[in-house]
Structures are given as structure tokens and as C-alpha cells.
Structure 1
């Protein structure tokens, strides 16, 4: 509670700063979204709404370094401010964050990452108008800081987080849709051509990893799934992941007969080059991860293995999506504002009980629907 006490002690200063900086016209806007790839993609409807409502304002985004390529090329974004979460540790770090925000002289700040450091930074900076979503469960510390934010909207259990964002913006008179958008690098087409991924929509993309290891399918299931995909579909299977997924991709590739039709694309694409790949796929298969939301941004037909996630809160919204969900008694245990990284039962039953046939049945429904 020390930061809450400090916030209240500084109240005369930041309240005066808010009053002195307030202008009738919104000229500078700051959006704060410091989570990972999927969350940033799901923040782009907010970016589009802010740009449409304030077409002449300067829009800046405070973000994690890993998500920079999603927004850096968007015409709706004027400035990207990459910041590492470890940079705001301690009193000094939070004060530097507040000074960074104050230096932008923003008229409006919209916070989509309701953490103690970011709330403190917004309040201490004296931004004239502050909006923030709040987590599903608000503890004493955030509840105390919430009183210092002009407009807040709390997420409701089982509600789509995009709906929470819509209600938040509505309080400022801003209408928001659900369409996502990201920057697209032209170099992605050349990477696809180099790997031999044709533009005839015959390839099936398979995400082989997740930032949260609790959701991963594992090499055994991945290998069996690739073998079945090669058996049932004539096109190639593309293993998609980052450079760190190279060993897993190589292991899967080594287990599968007919590996000449398997393309190891782990680490081959930059984030903003992946849209070129996604738009060449017949089908995408993955868990709840950034790659899944990237594929959904371009309405790629997909199969999503739900795992421990409550998909009522955040999920792909494309027109051709099938979900594979096994629901043991402990399901769900992973939420947008409370995501565990270790299985409490030690069994990972929600993933371990998923079979190849479950995924293939869903895949057949998607491909036949086309």
C-alpha cells in the first residue's frame, strides 16, 4: 500500500497538474497496452476507434518491445513507445514512468493494462483525462488507485474483454467495433516463396508453441497430428513458431515419415511478415496464443485447442473457427486477468485428454464448410 499512500500524498500536485494541462480539444492521446502479442492484437480495435473519433489527434502507444512490429506500420499510430516491464520496478522506476508519460503532455490516456505501476504512472503524470479498464477482481490497492482515475470499467466474469473495452470507450462517447488490424511487411511474401509455401491455399499451418507453457500441445501430440494431417490432406504442413521453437520443430520433423511435405518455418518470419504466411493457408491450428490471434486478424479458417482458457473472455472471432475443448472439473483455470503458468493438478488434463481425432474432426468441419 506504500504506493497508494504516496499517490494520496501527491494528490495536490497531480490534481493541480491535471487542471493546468486540461484543454477543451483532445490533441494528444496515449494508449497503454504492455501485454503480449495476442493482447496487443485485441487492443487494435481500440486504436481504430480512437483514430476514427479523434482523426486529427496525435496517437501514441506505450507497449512491450515484442509487440512493436504489430503497430509500428499502422497509419493510425503516430508514435510507438517500447518499454520493458522491469524498467518500472521500485519507486524510482515508477517515477521514471510517470515522467515519461508527463513528457508527452497527453490530453487523454486510455489504459488497457490495469497494473499498479501503470496506474501510478498515469496518476502521478497528471494526465487531464484518464480511462482504464479494471480486472475482474479488484484488490484493495487497485481499488484505492481506481478512485484517482477519471473513468473506469471493470471486466465482468465470463465477459468478452472487447465488450469491456467498448463500455469504457462509450463513457467517453467513442464507438468501437471488433475488427483487428496489424502492420504487414512486404518482405513476408519473399519469405513464403523461399520456403516453398505456395499461394494456392493448400498449406496447413500448425503453431507448435505458446508463451504460456501450460497451453502447449507437446511434441508427442504434435508429431501424431502432423502425421495425420499428411495422411488426410494433400498439401504441406507448416510448423510455425519463433526462433526458440526451432528444437521442438526439428524434433517433430524427425519423428514424421514423409517429412518432405513438412516445412519448418520456426524463426523464419518476423512478426509483421507472418500475415503473408497466414493469408496463404488453407487452415491454421493452434492453442490460445499470439499466433492464433494473428491468424484471426486475417480471418484464416482455424481450429483452436482451448486448453485451460476461459474462451468466453477472449477468443478468435473469425467466421470459420472451430474450438476443441476438454473440460475436466478444474476447467477453466486461466483467465485474461489471472493466467497461471503451472497446472495446479499437475496433470494438464485439459490438454492431455485432447486426441488427434478431436482436432481432425474440427479441422474437417472447417474445411468442408468452405
Structure 2
């Protein structure tokens, strides 16, 4: 994968709409927002093609999205289960005469507009959530209801933060032990890696290859590749397969960087772990949207005769207007904007600008990607 031109992206403003964007009809009580970001739900919705709109109209344009299955399970594309890594230009092996060692790889569903880190508490919610109604901002199985302070609308826009339009599959170090699971070879998370049968079996299981893929050759008496890998892991010294090295160092001799780069090349997306800077960029984008809706809200209160005549639900004042359902489409535009910089266009990471494909120096989902951009290493 090549790296495109490094640019500082100016988050595009959201122009005001020519007509009043606020609904003048009584809100449908069935219209609810889904604002608690749950990765597994996002992944399921991406696989099923469930969109970012919960609106009650069955033919709503954003109720359905493109189906995009888990890279490990997708039947019509190459299944991503492992990568080979190069350290100092040489494939990692357990022995000099051995085959390149396959490292497990998995991707996780990433919210393009993060629920907890970008959307929760944001001013844009004033134009998405019904005044006084409890919204569920859960970050897990338990509900976390809270009303949006200062809401300006009398109904919900029916936005689903876990909809397929708001998701992208990105690789991480989950399969190699960057967290609590995986084969535990990402060395700063592991103090002692035992060469035992259980640990080696977990490596084989993590690769999840079919029996045909494990078949090592035409000789029926030849040892199957899965058994060969377990034996090789058992004989090798720990340092032969550990992903050691300095975090966020993109040196050719750093096994961690070798894994990160191989994962990005295989998946066509940015490596993903902690992404506070990314979430801040999304917040900036949403602030542009909120500023536009604030101005449109003020104009509607002063000048829109339809807003003035609209039958307000009980408990709503003249300062509240109908939900601007078009905001869901603008949130999709936000997701599309960021997805363009997180994924690959043709063979280059980034989005197309005229004849060029460019990356954005300030849009990244991992310190590894940030270091890579700064290093300008192809």
C-alpha cells in the first residue's frame, strides 16, 4: 500500500438549507434514536445492511445500507484470517529453513461517528433529540438514559449510530493479544509467554483456516500444516515469534510495526486502537453542522410561518420546532467523509481529490498511523 500526499484537511462546513429543514407535522411517537454505540451491534448491522435511520417509513432511503460482512467470514471476498510479516525485509520464520509464520488477524467494526467519544454530550444532539425525552447513551448492555439539555426540537430524528452507514471494518492487534484475548504475542501486554500445547493450539484456532487450507501437500503421510505449526511453536524460543519493539516506531526492524503494516496492507484500512484525536476531528465536523442548524433554528423561529402555525405537542413552547429529519443524511455525509480517509482507494490509503489520492495528516485511528504519516514511509 502506498501513502498519498499528506494534507491538513479543512473540515467542510454544512451550508444552510434553502427551505426550512424542520418538520411541520406532529412527530411520530415511534420515531426513536439509537445513540449508544455498541461494536457488536454495529458489526451485525453492517453484515445485515441495517441503515442509520429508524424512521417509521418502510421505504425510507437510509433504513437500509450496503451489506458488508466481517472480513473473517465474508464468503464472496478473500477471508482475512492471517498475515505474514517482514522484519528488516525478511519474512518472520520460526527457523531458517521454515515457512513464513502466519500471524492471526481480525478486524473490528469501528464507528465512523463515535457514539461515546464524539456524539455524546455534543451540541448537535439539540437538533436530533426530542425535548425532555430520555435518550439511551449506553456503552454496553446496561441502559444509560439521559435527556438532552437544551433540546430545540419536539421530536426525534430517528438516527441509529449503530447503522451500517456509520461503520467500517478496521484491523487491530486484538488477535495477537493487544487486549485480553488473542494469542498473546504483543509483547508489552505479555510478561510471560509459555510454549505449551494449549497456547500453541490457540494460535492454530485463531487462524481458523479450513482443512483444505491447512493441507500441506499431496503426500498423505506428510504432517498437516496445523500440526506442523503447533510443533514449530513448541520448539521455538519465545523471541522467535513475539511481536516485540517500541510502540509507534515505524522502523523496518520493529516486529510490531511489521504486523501493523501487514494488517493495513491486507485489510485496506487504517490500524485501529485508541483514537482520541480522531474523535476530536469528528467533534469539529459536528460543530460545523450544529452551527448551521443553530442559525437555521433561529431563522425558523423568526421567519417560518409554517413553524409558527404547526401544532406543537403538549409541553412544547414557541422555541421548539419539528425534528429536522434531513440531519440524518448529513450525518451519513460525515461518515462517508471520514471513511474516505480511513480506507483504501484503489491501492492507496486515502480519498480521491481530483487526480490525486490523498491522506489527511490529522485523521487517523491509531498512534501507529500517525507515526507512519509523519515518517512518510511508503
Q: TM-score range by the shorter chain?
A: under 0.3
The structure that is strand-richer by fraction is: 1
The structure that is helix-richer by fraction is: 1
TM-score, structure 2 normalization: 0.26
TM-score, structure 1 normalization: 0.27
